[in-house]
Each structure stands twice: as C-alpha cells, then as structure tokens.
C-alpha cells in the first residue's frame, strides 16, 4: 500500500514530490529521495527545481513531526516505527542531539525518526530546524546537482555519492559540531574566569578602602 502511494505521488510531478517530502518528515516510511530520483531521471533539466521544492517541503513538515513526538510519546512511536530505527536514533541523541540530526540526514534511518524523537526528548525546535536545514540541503541538492550536470547518466552515481556522503561528509559535519561546542565551552569558561577575576579585584579594592577608613 505504501509503495502504491509513493507511485501515485510520482504521477503528480513536483507537487507529488512536495507532498512526499512533507509527509516524509512526519510519518511516511518511504523516503522522498526515491521520488526525487525518479522525477529527476525523467526530467533532468528540472532537477534543481525538484531539489528546491522537496527541500522546502521537508523543512515545512519537520515541525509537524516534532509535534507528533511531543504529543504521542515514545511508547506510541515504537508501535508505528521500526524498533531498530528508534533504538539507533535514541542512542545517537543521547550522545549528541545535533550530531544525531546531521547523521540522520545521510543514514538509512528515515529522517522522520529524528524529527519525532526531537519532540519526544524536548530537543529545541529551532536547533532541529537549523541542523535539518543543513543536513537536508546536502541530501536534496546532491541529487539535484548530479542530474542537472550529468542528466540521466547520474542515476548510477546517486547511490555511490550517497555512500560517500555517509562515510565522509556526515563525520566531517559531526566533527564541526563537536569543535564548535568545544569552542563555545572554552569561550564560556574564559568569560566566567574573567568575571571571577573582576570580582576578585573589586573585593580587593573594597578591602583596601575599608583598611584605609
């Protein structure tokens, strides 16, 4: 039935991809990637346009997936999603929520799992949207650019490039998040030390003034 729905959506071209991308971020288990590739294969000249509308629709659907997670809770999620998806995504979130979202943009785990888990785990919605915007942009536009440049010949490249993204780009993005967090923590620590030093100086001055009095 789900495959029939996906095939049905393809018949409506860009509008079908918009709908598929939107529900892909909410609950539909078949990734919009397959519809995007199929439509780009038929009309490579529209590949970048398809990437754009699919990307925007995915981001628009993300808050709704988040809301489902807030309302339904994890117990319900295990009934409607595969347990291995939930278990893997939960472990990633427990280690680093930002990295989990970025990894989720490239791994076979459907992205909706991360949007729903973000809501359940009270991960900030603005962070979910920010990291989803980065990760999903890469996912959609890699396909769009390949078909735009190479036409139908890109069909064989997509899977290989997706593999390289999973192996190379995703870890680099995660490393970037890790380094940024360390940089922010160092700045926060230095700021705290600066405030403490200022307080120490002020206390010393106050003590000196009392002595003089």
Look over the chain and give the mean of its residue pLDDT values, rounded to a whole number: 78
Gap between the Cα atoms of 198 and 203, Å rounded? 9
For the segment 102-154, what is each residue's pLDDT rounded down to a tens digit?
A: 776 666 667 777 788 888 878 888 888 888 888 888 889 988 999 999 888 88
**Within a 13 Å sphere around the CA of 150, how many CA atoms are in the beta-carbon half?**
12
- String of DSSP letters for 23-87: HHTTT-SS-THHHHHHHHHH-GGGHHHHHHHHHHHHHHHHHHHHHHHHHH-HHHHHHHS-HHHHH
Check residue 31 and give left, alpha or beta (phi > 0: left; psi -120 to 50: alpha). beta
Is residue 170 over pLDDT 80?
no
- Give whole-number Cα distances, 198 to 135, 205, 211, in Å: 42, 11, 20
Cβ-contact 131, 108 below 8 angstroms: no
Helix or strand (DSSP H, E) at 161:
helix 155-164
Its sign, for the CA torsion 9, 14, 18, 20, is positive
Cα separation, 11 vs 138, whole angstroms: 25
In this predicted structure, the answer to whether residue 161 has a pLDDT above a threshold of 90 is no
CA-wise closest residue to 110 among 21, 14, 41: 21
- Under 8 Å between Cβ of 66 and 118: yes
- The count of structural domains within the chain is 1
| C-beta of residue 147 within 8 angstroms of C-beta of residue 44 | yes
pLDDT at residue 11 in the model = 86
pTM above 0.75, yes or no: no
| 169 pLDDT above the threshold of 70 | no
pLDDT given at position 83 = 72
Domain enclosing residue 79, as ranges: 2-212
Tell which wins on pLDDT, 39 or 212.
Answer: 39
């Amino acid at each position: 039935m789900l495959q029939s729905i996906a095939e049905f959506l393809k018949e409506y071209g860009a509008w079908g991809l918009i709908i598929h991308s939107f529900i892909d971020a909410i609950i539909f288990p078949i990734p919009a990637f397959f519809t995007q590739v199929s439509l780009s294969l038929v009309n490579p000249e529209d590949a970048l346009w398809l990437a754009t509308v699919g990307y925007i629709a995915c981001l628009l659907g993300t808050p709704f997936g988040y809301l489902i997670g807030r309302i339904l809770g994890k117990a319900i999620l295990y009934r409607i999603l595969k347990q291995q998806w939930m278990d893997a995504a939960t472990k990633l979130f427990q280690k680093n929520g930002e990295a989990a979202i970025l990894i989720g943009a490239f791994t076979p785990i459907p992205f909706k799992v991360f949007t729903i888990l973000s809501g359940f785990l009270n991960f900030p919605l603005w962070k979910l949207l920010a990291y989803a915007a980065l990760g999903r942009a890469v996912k959609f536009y890699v396909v769009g650019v390949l078909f735009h440049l190479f036409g139908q010949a890109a069909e064989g490249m997509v899977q290989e490039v997706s593999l390289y993204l999973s192996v190379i780009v995703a870890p680099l993005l995660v490393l970037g998040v890790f380094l940024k967090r360390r940089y922010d923590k160092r700045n926060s620590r230095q700021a705290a030390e600066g405030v403490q030093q200022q307080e120490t100086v002020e206390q010393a001055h106050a003590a000196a003034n009392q002595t003089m009095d």
